[in-house]
Amino acid sequence: MAKKTRVNQIELYFEWWLTELMEAGNIKEWSREPETMTVVSESTYGRIKRFKRKENEIEQFNLFHSIDYTYDYFIIWNTVAEYLFYEVTDETNVFQFGKPLFVAHEIVGAENGTYDIGSYVDVKPTTSVMQRGGKVSSAVSFPIKQRMIWDNYRKYINKVVPMPMAGTGFKSALFIKSFTPKRYLITDGGQQARKIKWPTTMLKQYVNDKVTNMNTILKTTS
């Protein structure tokens, strides 16, 4: 397991979102960088090792090193959050209400066949900010690793962009698609109101709107 990195500012904002959800009973627990996954195993090949006084040998060497990946967060959900914040993948390969806010999986426990509902998460800034910050390699490599992990392990890594930045991300940002955590409404120092450039929705309002929307869908399709 690789040494954990320091929490950056964008991850801190996401942790505020997680904390508020946990306090409201939607999340059982969450952890940061809990696991490093092997996306592709190392590939070895042989080469002849020659000697003057004994028979040649074939030794193995790494033609390709393994490709590893450490996701940022793992969320264990409480079932009250189902459809509001997550939906579990299953053998039907069908989501009930479109692509959920978080794709989740049944995680089998060690005792008595019990299981948790968990989501794997990678937190990133908007693409434009990543490009300006010189992190283009991460922006390019993540979708490839995300797809390979899905194909190899059937695990979905949720990409999360917490809030819009540099004028982009207004359609994809988590704080817009769901709710803006109360802690984010004030500055990092906690002394004054933060200037926010999008209409903010609080957690309770998001849940009420989501329930209303799902009930409407069920009524019109029943």
Question: In the prediction, which pLDDT does 153 show?
Answer: 93
For residue 60, the SS3 value is: strand
Report DSSP letters for 146-207, one per residue: HHHHHHHH---EEEE--S-BTTB-TTT-HHHHS---GGGGB-TTSSSB---SS----HHHHH
Q: Is residue 160 situated within a structural domain? A: yes
- Judged on CB neighbours under 10 Å (0-12, 13-18, 19+), 86 is buried
Residue 121 confidence (pLDDT) above 80: yes
The Cα 27–Cα 115 span in angstroms is: 15
Q: Is residue 51 situated within a structural domain? A: no
Question: Based on the structure, what is the number of domains in the chain?
Answer: 1
Q: Is residue 56 situated within a structural domain? A: no
Q: Is residue 49 situated within a structural domain? A: no
177 strand-pairing partners: none
Provide mean pLDDT across the span 66-77: 96
Structure token pair of residue 21: 């959800």
Give the structural domain span for 89.
9-40+65-221
Provide mean pLDDT across the span 13-28: 98
Nearest to 102 by CA among 158, 146, 18: 158
Q: Is residue 57 situated within a structural domain? A: no
Q: Is residue 98 situated within a structural domain? A: yes
**CA-CA-CA-CA dihedral for 15, 35, 39, 144, to nearest 10:** 0
pLDDT tens, 168-195?
Answer: 788 899 999 999 999 999 999 988 999 9
Q: Is residue 28 situated within a structural domain? A: yes
Q: How many Å is the Cα radius of gyration of the chain? A: 22
Least confident stretch, 9-18, 22-31, 125-134, 145-154: 125-134
Cβ 181 vs Cβ 175: under 8 Å:
yes
Q: Is residue 55 situated within a structural domain? A: no
Question: In the prediction, which pLDDT does 115 show?
Answer: 87
